[in-house]
């Protein structure tokens, strides 16, 4: 339990994310993504920081990903420095070996081993949508969430994670009104005038979080104007594919973004895309997307830093750069430029900020209830693909 918590939460109280903080306690009630599956090969062990806490994630010989306490129980050496042996992990410092369950099973230098008395914490883990999820909260893990739109036939591509040096709220409560302005340079460069249209957004709370619909006067709404938010930190929406070689196919991508604090001053976004292509065509699409995304991921933040330093403009991004990457750069400079919650001047909300206001209100309501020991909302993910319910 955290100490000295305010009697009445404010938005700024939700910025800290470590164990015992208001937001940290709430986020830990849910399964959260820690790593992209393709970034952890068999026999690999990696250190992962998430929600102000460190973990070791490794993939055993069985192919299963395991999540355990970051440090060895002996002398606190990071277990990620050690060796994966079968589905166990051995510490590099003195060779203590641990099961995936956290139980110590070997202490090579001890004449009279006490391994059976030593256990580190391990966490339930599961892979889904190309991500490694874990439950790192207290008590028994809740049922794992699945999302019907991502369980349909098709190919799933998990983009390189976006890691930005600012609070996770700078991404989490982003609004749609920014699109024709933040992404103006990309829209003009790619001839996408539809991104320049100013839309009115209507949002309301649901049994899973919120649903929003963007409206343009005189136009019939389409699926690309609908978005869903699943409490506490996942957003689903649709977009026409922008992948090179597939732009003219009129393919509709289903997209999901999980946004999570790495620590109090950094967040990560895991973006997943489902595209209705299967077989060889699906494999070709995935290969093309990964090749494009991975290549541009190496330079995107270097360019973002140049823009923020005033050394170049967003309008100067290369013509051949994909819309995926230039959108990410445009979001980076505005979200990072806004700065942390506690360092901002007073915000003045308008009618386009209804979604931001609703999300903050929902979070404050739920976290306040958590701190006071009252019942929380039991969020329910629909069993039917939301594509069919979007009307």
Q: How far apart are CA 101 and CA 245, in angstroms?
A: 46
Q: How far apart are CA 387 and CA 391, in angstroms?
A: 8
Give pLDDT, residue 274: 96
User: Considering only CA atoms, which of 136, 114, 112 is closest in space to residue 123?
Assistant: 136
Give pLDDT, residue 391: 59
Domains of the chain and any CATH numbers: 31-134 (2.102.10.10), 148-389 (3.90.380)
Q: For the chain, what percent of residues have pLDDT higher than 90? A: 72
Q: How far apart are CA 294 and CA 324, in angstroms?
A: 11
pLDDT tens digits, 325-336: 899 899 999 999
Give pLDDT, residue 40: 98
pLDDT tens digits, 150-205: 999 999 999 999 999 999 999 998 888 888 899 999 999 988 888 888 888 899 99
Mean pLDDT of 53-70: 98
Query: Which position has the higher pLDDT, 4 or 261?
Result: 261
CA distances from 363 to 9, 23, 210 (A): 10, 9, 12
pLDDT tens digits, 208-243: 999 999 887 767 768 888 999 999 999 999 988 877
Q: Is 3 a residue whose pLDDT tops 50? A: no
Length of the chain (residues):
391
* 308 CB neighbour count, 10 Å cutoff: 14
3-state secondary structure of 361: helix
How high is the mean pLDDT of the chain?
Answer: 92
Mean pLDDT of 386-391: 76
Residue 298: pLDDT band with limits 50, 70, 90: confident
């Amino acid at each position: 339990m955290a100490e000295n918590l305010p009697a009445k939460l404010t938005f700024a109280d939700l910025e800290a994310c470590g164990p015992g903080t208001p937001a940290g306690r709430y986020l830990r009630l849910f399964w959260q993504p820690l790593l992209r599956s393709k970034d952890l090969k068999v026999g690999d062990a990696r250190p992962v920081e998430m929600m102000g806490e460190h973990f070791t994630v490794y993939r055993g010989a069985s192919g299963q990903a395991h999540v355990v306490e970051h440090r060895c129980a002996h002398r606190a050496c990071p277990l990620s420095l050690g060796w994966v042996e079968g589905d166990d992990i051995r510490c590099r410092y003195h060779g203590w070996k641990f099961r995936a369950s956290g139980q110590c099973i070997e202490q090579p230098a001890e004449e009279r081993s006490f391994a059976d008395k030593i256990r580190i914490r391990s966490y339930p883990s599961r892979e889904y949508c190309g991500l490694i999820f874990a439950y790192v909260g207290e008590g028994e893990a809740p049922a794992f969430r699945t999302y019907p739109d991502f369980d349909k036939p098709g190919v799933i591509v998990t983009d390189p994670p976006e890691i930005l040096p600012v609070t996770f709220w700078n991404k989490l409560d982003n609004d749609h009104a920014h699109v024709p302005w933040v992404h103006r340079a990309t829209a003009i460069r790619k001839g996408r005038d539809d991104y320049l249209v100013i839309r009115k957004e209507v949002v309301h709370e649901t049994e899973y979080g919120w649903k929003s619909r963007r409206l343009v006067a005189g136009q019939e709404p389409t699926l690309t104007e609908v978005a869903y938010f699943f409490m506490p930190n996942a957003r689903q929406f649709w977009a026409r594919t922008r992948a090179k070689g597939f732009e003219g196919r009129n393919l509709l991508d289903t997209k999901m973004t999980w946004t999570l604090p790495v620590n109090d001053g950094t967040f990560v976004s895991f973006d997943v895309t489902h595209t209705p292509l299967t077989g060889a065509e699906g494999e070709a699409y995935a290969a093309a997307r990964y090749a494009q995304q991975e290549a541009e991921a190496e330079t995107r933040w270097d360019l973002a830093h140049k823009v923020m330093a005033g050394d170049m403009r967003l309008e100067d991004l290369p013509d051949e750069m994909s819309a995926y990457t230039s959108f990410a750069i445009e979001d980076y400079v505005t979200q990072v430029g806004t700065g942390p919650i506690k360092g901002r001047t007073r915000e003045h909300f308008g009618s386009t900020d209804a979604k931001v206001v609703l999300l903050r209100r929902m979070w404050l309501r739920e976290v306040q209830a958590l701190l006071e020991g009252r019942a929380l909302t039991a969020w329910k993910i629909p069993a039917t693909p939301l594509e069919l319910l979007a009307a």
